[in-house]
Amino acid sequence: MNKKIILGTLAYTLVTFFIAIIWHIVLFEDTYISFGYFKGEPNISVGFLTILIQGFVLTYLYNFVSFSGTNFVKSMKYVLTVGLFFWTSHVLAFVAKQNVENGISFILMETFYLLLQFGIYGACIGLIYKNYKPKY
């Protein structure tokens, strides 16, 4: 397997896992419980596996996109694109499926969380793929 894919997968996994734990469980657990985000105890191992798979897929797909600009600009365009998809499927879909009391607060909190997560991942991808030319 390509070294860049391994590094990108690790970067996404570490960034996302630790930010998710700190954000959702350490800093704002009571708030997320009030949103109905957690039903019982979170399954940390399944969450980690999910993040690992996401990291692999997102990093693998980066090899097939071609955005204009510097490495940093390219990686930020990529994470904004995939981040928007995650935002609609994670944040908006949750509010659509659940009766979330104070849905605007949930949307704002998760939007900031995803901006933080994908912003850091984008910076990592920009560094990992420095001077890289996509296959297509």
Q: What would the pLDDT profile of 53-99 be if each residue is shown by its tens digit?
A: 999 999 999 989 889 888 889 999 999 999 999 999 999 999 999 88
Backbone phi, psi, residue 77, to 5°? -65, -40
Select the more confidently predicted residue: 74 or 133: 74
Residues 6+ positions from 46 with CB-CB distance below 8 Å: none
Other C-beta atoms within 10 Å of 88: how many? 11
Residues 6+ positions from 111 with CB-CB distance below 8 Å: 87, 91
Q: How confident is the model at residue 133, as a pLDDT?
A: 66
Q: How confident is the model at residue 135, as a pLDDT?
A: 58
Select the more confidently predicted residue: 38 or 124: 124
Closest CA to 20 of 135, 129, 125, 118: 118
Backbone phi, psi, residue 38, to 5°? -110, 135
Encode pLDDT of 6-44 as tens digits: 999 999 999 999 999 999 999 999 999 999 888 778 889
Is the pLDDT assigned to residue 136 strictly greater than 60?
no
